[in-house]
Structures are given as C-alpha cells and as structure tokens.
Amino acid sequence: MLALVLALALAPEWAREVEALRPADTSAAERAVLDALESRARETLAALRHPQTRAETEAARPRLRRQLEEALGYRRLPRSTARPRVTGTLRRPGYRIEKIVFESLPGVEVPAHLYVPDGLTGRAPAILFYNGHWWNDSKTKPDFQSFCITMARLGFVVFSFDPFGQGERGVSSRDHRRVESLLVGVAQQGFAELESQCALDYLLSRKEVDVARVGMTGASGGGYNTWITATLDDRIKVAVPVVGTSDFYRQIQHARTVDWYRAGEHCHFIPGLLRFADNHEFTAMVAPRPLLIINAATDAGFPIGTVAGYGKSLYATYGAGERFACFEDTATGHGYQQAKREAAYGWFLKWLAGRGDGRPYAEPPHETLPFDSPELRCLEDGQKRPAGPGMIAAVKRMAAGIQPRGGFRGEQQVKQIAPTAARVQRLEIPAGDGVTLPAFLVRAERERGLLIAVDDRGKEALATDEFVLKAWREGWSVAGVDVRGIGELTTSKMGWVSAVSLLAGENFVERQARDLLLAAGNTPLALYARGDNAALAAAYAVGGFGRRLCWYVLRNGFTSFRDFLERPESLPRSYVLFNEDKNSERMTAYDREIPFRYFVFDGLRRFDIPQLLARSAARGYIVEPADGDWKPASRSNWKEVDTSCGR
C-alpha cells in the first residue's frame, strides 16, 4: 500500500482519477467471463450428433478413434523396449501375487501385481485393473485388493499397476499434470493410455491368459481410463468403468463450483475432446461389446446424465440389449466399495466366464494386507520411483526435433474504441460473447497515436508505470485494458477456465489477445504489455493490428515456449513434491510451475513466440524477459524504447 501511495504521489494527476474509476464490486464481471466459456462448451457439445443406430455407429467409429488418438497423442511417445521382470512372488490362499516391474517410457518403471489363481488347468479369463487417483496406496488400496483377490479366487488373472505419481511411484503428484507434454502434442491422458497399452500387452503375453476373454475396469480416473482404452482397443472384450462416467456438460457445470479441484490432475483434460465426443461417443465406440456402467448416486463429480439411456437405446439397435447395463450404488459414494465390486463380479462372470446371469455376485470373505505392507512392494530397493524425470525426458527428446510448421493464423478482428471528449474516462468495450472489457482512456495533449496497454497487475497499475508515463509525456494517449483473466476480469476459477478451454479446443491466451484487438482506435497504434500473461497475450495480438501498429513493448514475458521445458531449477523440484503427511497439499505448485493456460496443444509444431511476433512489421522490444525459472533472461531496458512512429 505504501508503494502505491508513493507512486500515485509521483504520477500525474490523472493517476488518481484512473484509480477511482474501478468499481468496488467486480463479481458480475467474473461471472460473465465464466458464463461465456461455459456457454461455448455447451454449444460445442450440443452440436454433436450422437450415432443413433448400428449403421451410424459403425460408420462413425473409425473417425472417432482417429480423432481420439490424435487428441491423446500417445502414439507419439517413445515406448520402452526393456523386458518386464518378476521381482518376487507372494503366496496367498487360493492365488499368488507375482510382483512385476515393466517400463512404459524408456527408463520409467511401473510396479505391478499379477494375481494368478491356483490350480489353473488352461487359459483363464483376465482383467486389466487401472487404479484411479489414490495417492498413497494405489494398487494396494484395500478396496482394490479386495477386487483382485476375489476375481483371482473366481478363476481370473488380474493385472493391477501403479499409475504415475501413486503408490510405489508416489513421489510427486505433479506427475498428474505434466503440461509440458502439450507442447509436443501429447495429453496427460496420453501417458495413461501408453501405460495401459503396455500393461495390456504384458497381460496378454502371459501363458495363463485367454486373449479372447479380457476385460478392464477401474474407479474414478481408472473408470475414465477404462473408457478410453476400451474405445480404442478391441482386445478389451468387456468394460466396467466405475465412477468415471459423466455427461460432459453436467460435469463441467459441477467442476466450475470447485475450480475443477484447482486442475491438479489433468487426465480428464483431453485437448479438443468436446468438439467430437461426449461420453455418448465413448459408449458408441465400445458397442456392442458388453458394457456395465457403475456409478454412485451421490457422486456429484461424475453426473451420468443421459449416458445410460443413450447406451440402452443404442445397444438395442444392435439387438444386444442384454450386453448393456447400468448399476447405481445408492449407499456409498465415489470409490470401488463392496456393492460396486459385487456388480462388477457378476458382469465379468457372465461375459468372460459364462457363469451366472450378470447380476451382482456376493463377495466371499477374504483378507487384505495393510496397504503399506513391505511384502507388497515390487521395487527391489523398497524406494519409490518418480515418473516425472522420464516423462519430461521423453518430451524434451520429442521437442528437440520439432520445427514450427508456420505462423499463427488467429482471428485478426480489430474494432475501434469510441472515446468522448473527456481527458480521463472509463470505457466498457463489448467483446461480443457477454463479456465487457473495462478500460480507461487518458488523452495526451499533442496526440501522436494511441498506446494500448495491459498489465498483469490490472490496468490501474499502468497509471504509475514508468514506461507508460514516458509514452504519455511523449504524446501517446493511453488506453489501459483489462482482458479476461486480468484486473477486473480476474477469476478465482482459473483451473476450471484452463481445463474447459483445452477441452473445447480453445487457446485461452489467444482469446485474451482477441480482447486486446477490440481496444484499437482509428489512429497510429502502439502496444505495451507488462507481466508474463500480458506479454504472451500481446505476442498473439501484434499481427492482428495490421500496419497501424508502429511499435510494441513486451515486458517481463517469455521469449519462447521452449522456456517452459528448460527449467533447470524448477523441474527437479517438481519430481519430489509429494508429502505423505500432508496429502491435502498435493495440488500445490511447489515448483512455481508455468501456468496451465499458457500451453498450446502441439504448440511447438504450430508456432512459437518468435513466429507470433514475425506476423507484425512493427518495431518490437522485448524488455526484461524471464527464463523458465522466472529469472531475468536479459538486462534490456524500457528507457531505450523509441516511441516515434517511424519503422
């Protein structure tokens, strides 16, 4: 506060007027930003035409699978060729647990348990179990042990492994949001799918397994991964997703209320998914294989909506109505509790073993081990292995050979502000989607042109910014603008905003750039952006102003998307974030990670910041840029900027 008072004292008199223009309550402005994005997501999903018949489904499946594979990007990842190893065997009543370690990415070890029934005389049906997001226990969670034990005693081989960031890999929960991979065209769920494919390959390689009778299940993120793998791979003959099914728009509505849990886990955020699929399309891609959806009546995070009704109708067109069912647990919530397990047992028994009628099968008594029992560990030294180093190493190897295909082709929409004769005034610029951009305009005495300015600290900070004052004194009128996400349009739901933008195939920073373009006037223009967000948005915008833009200054921003990969101090810290004693802190960005919204899917192949800037013929200045560790990358000074309009 003292710094602001001193700055205002040294600034011209209009600085106080600008400060006074800001309304006390900006909650309506925040709602407008969120409503606009939610509306676009709703309209995108409403435009989908779900396959309604067998013929439509068969025709749509190849396209849908291709689009999903491209959005996941998992086929781009380098796959390890290392041979899996058995590190021990644990004998239990009626079955044994073989401790397996396989690699997914080169050097990335995945601990797993293979449950094998005693007394097999031939090849048995098998289940791939994908553990959802349970951090400390994962594959050893008692509920999951119960499922695997019971299925093994019923004659099934079951393969259960620790996803990245969990169980014996539970060193850093940050491994569930390796947003760096977006730059090379790989979604977080792409890592999950690669590991599922590796696990499935291993399971099918076992002599005990009948490859024609393989099912898959898992809860929460494991239920969602069951959907993804079953849609893409016909080797999964029966699918039972548990508390991982949702009507996507209803899920988005709920997730808004909780900021999508601060977007701490990114496995659900598949780039552009809403443009081609809802959970209905997942259902169509699985049909007509046996499918049991298990949900919980009280599970607000996974509202099933119309998915169950759609599945029932679609399967009927195949003449396979008995192959689709939905079980709702009304007693327990999110998880894989006994009632849910019993529903799964009955379904797998009918469709993979030819036993029973598919209704729930009562779980026999059994004993599980404590989740942290030493005898359940697979890694020989008993130490946890972080997946992060291998994940980032794979991304860097992929990035090394990529060159942008071409420049950014964003919308070049330039409108004009409509000032009055007042020297200092507040402007409200309609963005066309229900959002109004707040701005101020301060006229210079001998006007040379209009300086459009944006600042991460909010437009009021521009009134005391040294460079803005320099430009104003040199004849530039100043339009200070808050684009969505900044200043009056700041939102506390940026995790949700970033996630929904990615799902809808949008680039949030590009949308901020469109906001900037709306502030142009019919005079010579200049552009000033201060802060890493503002500078990145301005980089997108410079080409849209056309030849009227004389010069621009980007201050305190990044100079390349590759800065997000070169973080020698921050990335190593991110590999060891997990604190078992403070599980609630697992979402905290201890490593000062780059904001999720800055990452462009397949960005390094599409364009980089230099390509964005090359779209403009204006004179440009990069001032006091930051490197990937948020440190000054150079000592360039704003005082050296030439504010004349010559090129």
- Does 31 reside within a domain? no
**Is the per-residue pLDDT at 407 higher than 90?**
no
115 and 250 share a domain? yes
For the domain that residue 492 is a member of, what is the CATH number? Answer: 3.40.50.1820
**Is the per-residue pLDDT at 320 higher than 60?**
yes
The reported pLDDT for the residue numbered 2 is 41
450 phi and psi, to 5 degrees? -115, 125
8-state DSSP, 179:
G
- Does 13 reside within a domain? no
Instruction: Give the residue from 44, 190, 189, 49 showing the smallest Cα distance to 501.
Output: 44
Query: CA–CA separation, 333 vs 44, rounded Å?
Result: 30
Cα Rg of the chain, angstroms = 28
Amino acid at 444: A
Cβ-proximal residues to 332 (8 Å cutoff; 6+ apart), any chain: 296, 339, 340
Look at the block and give the residue holding tokens 């239990």: 92
329 and 296 share a domain? yes
The reported pLDDT for the residue numbered 4 is 44
362 and 442 share a domain? no
- Does 368 reside within a domain? yes
Tokens linked to 558 = 């990044």
**Is the per-residue pLDDT at 302 higher than 60?**
yes
216 phi and psi, to 5 degrees? -145, 145
The reported pLDDT for the residue numbered 1 is 46
385 and 452 share a domain? no
128 and 209 share a domain? yes
Query: CA–CA separation, 451 vs 154, rounded Å?
Result: 73
Instruction: Give the DSSP letter string of 237-252.
Output: -EEEEES----HHHHH
Helix axes 188-205, 221-232, angle to 10 degrees: 70
Query: CA–CA separation, 448 vs 645, rounded Å?
Result: 8
274 phi and psi, to 5 degrees? -65, -15
The reported pLDDT for the residue numbered 20 is 84
Tokens linked to 278 = 């809802």
Q: Residue 81 — very low, low, confident or very high, per pLDDT cuts 50/70/90?
A: very high
Q: Is the dihedral of CA 97, 228, 603, 525 positive or negative?
A: negative
The reported pLDDT for the residue numbered 401 is 84
Tokens linked to 132 = 């959802």
**Is the per-residue pLDDT at 520 higher than 90?**
no
The reported pLDDT for the residue numbered 406 is 67
Instruction: Give the chain's mean pLDDT.
Output: 93
Q: Residue 408 — very low, low, confident or very high, per pLDDT cuts 50/70/90?
A: low
- Does 38 reside within a domain? no
- Residue that wins the pLDDT comparison between 423 and 400: 400
Tokens linked to 356 = 């029973």
Query: CA–CA separation, 130 vs 150, rounded Å?
Result: 16
334 and 384 share a domain? yes
CB 534 within 8 A of CB 519: no
- Mean predicted confidence (pLDDT) in 330-354: 98
**Is the per-residue pLDDT at 42 higher than 70?**
yes
For the chain, the helix, strand and coil percentages under 3-state DSSP, each to the nearest 5: 40, 15, 40
Range scoring the smallest mean pLDDT among 212-221, 499-508, 526-535, 582-591:
582-591
202 and 335 share a domain? yes
Query: CA–CA separation, 2 vs 14, rounded Å?
Result: 19
340 and 418 share a domain? no
498 and 386 share a domain? no
Domain boundary among 352, 377, 400: 400
Query: CA–CA separation, 17 vs 248, rounded Å?
Result: 46
Instruction: Give the DSSP letter string of 24-78.
Output: S--HHHHHHHHHHHHHHHHHHHHT-----SHHHHHHHHHHHHHHHHHHH-GGGSP
553 and 419 share a domain? yes
Q: What is the number of domains present in the chain?
A: 2
Report strand pairing: 436-442 vs 476-481. Answer: antiparallel
305 and 421 share a domain? no
- Residue that wins the pLDDT comparison between 523 and 539: 539
Q: Within 13 Å of residue 586, how many CA atoms lie on the same side as its CB?
A: 23
Query: CA–CA separation, 516 vs 483, rounded Å?
Result: 7
Query: CA–CA separation, 422 vs 429, rounded Å?
Result: 17
Cβ-proximal residues to 72 (8 Å cutoff; 6+ apart), any chain: 186, 187, 189, 190, 193, 228, 270
- Does 578 reside within a domain? no
- Does 439 reside within a domain? yes
- Mean predicted confidence (pLDDT) in 610-634: 93
- pLDDT of 53-67, one tens digit each? 999 999 999 999 999
Look at the block and give the residue holding tokens 């090129």: 647
**Is the per-residue pLDDT at 500 higher than 50?**
yes
- Mean predicted confidence (pLDDT) in 171-175: 89
Query: CA–CA separation, 30 vs 26, rounded Å?
Result: 7
Query: CA–CA separation, 227 vs 47, rounded Å?
Result: 22
CB 344 within 8 A of CB 363: no
Report how far apart, in Å, the C-alpha atoms of 549 and of each of 296, 452, 541 are: 56, 10, 11
Query: CA–CA separation, 600 vs 560, rounded Å?
Result: 12
- Does 464 reside within a domain? yes
Domain boundary among 373, 400, 427: 400
The reported pLDDT for the residue numbered 10 is 45
Report strand pairing: 157-161 vs 109-117. Answer: antiparallel
Query: CA–CA separation, 116 vs 152, rounded Å?
Result: 6
Report how far apart, in Å, the C-alpha atoms of 127 and of each of 218, 236, 627 are: 10, 9, 47
- Does 585 reside within a domain? no
How much of the chain exceeds pLDDT 70, in percent?
93
Which helix (H) or strand (E) segment is 128 a member of?
strand 124-130
366 and 441 share a domain? no
Q: Residue 579 — very low, low, confident or very high, per pLDDT cuts 50/70/90?
A: low
The reported pLDDT for the residue numbered 410 is 53
The reported pLDDT for the residue numbered 419 is 55
For residue 365, what are the domain limits? 49-400
Domain boundary among 400, 432, 465: 400
Tokens linked to 526 = 């200049």
- pLDDT of 93-152, one tens digit each? 999 999 999 999 999 999 999 999 999 999 999 999 999 999 899 999 999 999 999 999
Helix axes 338-353, 142-153, angle to 10 degrees: 30
